[in-house]
Chains A and B, each alone.
Chain A
Amino acid sequence: MKQLHKKIDLSVDIGGLKMRNPVMAASGTFGYGEEYEEHVPIDHLGALITKGISLKPHSGNPPPRLVETTGGMLNAIGLQNIGVKALIKEKIPNLMKFGTPIIVNVFGSTLREYGEVARILDGIDAIKGLEVNISCPNIKRGGISFGTDPRQVFKVVSKIRKASALPIMVKLSPNVTDITTIARSAEEAGADVLSLINTLTGMAVDVDNRIPKLGNITGGLSGPAIKPIALRMVWEVYNKVNIPIVGIGGIFNTYDALEFIIVGASAIQIGTAHFINPSVAMEVINGLENYLRDNHIGTIQDLVGSLETPTFSIL
């Protein structure tokens, strides 16, 4: 007999991050939360991840900062943010009222800076976790991104591990040759969770004026266009690490979210889709619930990594 109104439990606990459902708002696409207050019931989200925060405020890149591309968009915001002190003083008090777990996305341009930001955020009650953006230029190493070198990744994550008792989610860059080696470094250094993917570096050109369409020349690609790549990377990492994974990249509806969960993600983040459809997270939460009910699956966890791969091949 089908039980029609059985309450479905979507709650998850990933690496110490407890959430009422596995759907989070991705960093940089949801501001500091307050911007979407009028448009989204924020208290329904599994968690909210803030815009990337650094020790000092950053003014960001010159415009234009956005370009639409087929099936996606490029952004070159330049990690503009108000700095960790202002976040704590001006934004956290307002965010707390939603009762939604707040995860602060952190970055730095030196190892020390990463550690310092994490230390300042440690012990603030409302903050339930840190997401470490390692796709940032390391100024001590000629601006090469921390996230491309397994040793640098190990150092950054260790530094943060020492500075903070909060659950640590390390956000991986897809702009690498083998994402699994980076993932392993983060795991070894003590990450509790991995989130992937950040944006893919891309470009667009204005042929009339022969100039880049972005003020910063290059930018990060997000949206539906990156979903197949993100899925592949989640699946690869799932087969190599033992900590939970959060899937990100072009999630626009329930089926997109399910694909990530089936290849190994324990939770997901929605970014660009909010711009087009502010109700997307609510739709995905309801959709997941319906999927579990319709398929008689007890919890999200039962679905994680449930991908069945072909067992035979023709020689």
Chain B
Amino acid sequence: MARVIFNRKISSDYYRMRILCPEIASRAKPGQFIMVRITELLDPLLRRPFGIHRLCHERDKHTDNNSPSCIEILYKIVGKGTIVLSEKKKGEGIDLMGPLGNGFYLEQNIETAVIVAGGIGVAPLFSLAQVLKGVKGKNTSRDKLTIFIGGENRKDILCLNDFKKIGARVVVSTIDGSLGTKGLVTDLLVNFLRKHSPLETKNLKLFGCGPLPMLRTLSEIAFYKNIPCQVSLESRMACGVGACQGCAVPTEINKEGDRVVLYQRACKEGPVFDSTIIFWDYKSILLKV
């Protein structure tokens, strides 16, 4: 069974847990997730999904060339399950399923990448940045990987130094202006694209994770600028393996010339999707997730 290496409070509502689980860590890709059994008892009942935040070893922070033996999850306390999870102690066993789902699709020749993170949406994006840096070599300049991190206030801005340490450029915004630029994180992206000529952004790739309205705006920007964009979506899950159809996300696909709505499973076909296929106009998912 997997074992908790540490479970640290990093600010009022956020925790970081490192877990020793070589079978999962050695196969995990950024954007994939795990299903955590919160308790052996039956309350809370269902497993909880968490993105793979970091691939690492038991002691050192970052992964070297050896295959990683640990994963980390970064989580926000929002309800019963995450409260119970935050009480897990170092050395305790923890029941995980994973790695699950399809991670980010990473081509070999990604020249420049921009990552847009909203709140706790930053969690799976750190492992993505780790790998993007790896793909391109340690010596690539900061300009090649930019992270925009946004939140309500300064408390919601996580992982700032971690991103800096791996050599990425980090820009922050908060709604209340308590850290970085005041405003929406997607405005940072709009400014960025305004400052760079279409030629400069020709080979740009966008990646995002965060609240649905943010992802929708991100997707619209990507669409108008014709930039490939992958988003990681959240959905209520029960099985996490594709069996129950509970995590369905409405997508629009082309079928014999018509756009038709097709439900795809966030846990199986996702949680990462090409932003152009998501049927964003779905009121019920906008309201709830």
Contacts and interface: CB of A to CB of B under 8 A. Distances in A.
B214 interface: no
B259 interface: no
Nearest to B261: A59
A42 B258 CA distance: 39
Interface stretch (A66-74, A117-125, A159-167, A178-186): A66-74
A28 B244 contact: yes
A161 B8 CA distance: 61
B227 interface: no
A65 B243 contact: no
A262 to B, nearest CB: 21
A66 B237 contact: yes
Given A75-B246, A223-B45, A276-B45, A63 B238 contact: no
B202 interface: no
Interface string B250-273: 100000000001110000100000
A293 interface: no
A278 B237 contact: no
A35 B239 contact: yes
A71 B288 contact: no
A254 to B, nearest CB: 15
Looking at chain B's contact residues, the main secondary structure is loop
Given A31-B244, A77-B244, A215 B284 contact: yes
A278 B241 CA distance: 10
B285 A278 contact: no
A36 interface: yes
A59 B263 contact: yes
B46 interface: yes
B181 to A, nearest CB: 30
Interface in B219-244: 235-244
Interface stretch (A169-177, A205-213, A232-240): A205-213
Contacts of B263: 59-60, 80
Contacts of A39: 97, 241
Contacts of B282: 62-63
B46 A60 contact: no
A275 B284 CA distance: 24
A315 to B, nearest CB: 40
B238 A275 contact: yes
Interface in A25-51: 28-31, 35-36, 38-39, 51
A224 interface: yes
A146 interface: no
Interface of A: 28-31, 35-36, 38-39, 51, 59-60, 62-68, 70-73, 75, 77, 80, 206, 209, 211, 213, 215, 223-224, 252, 272, 274-278
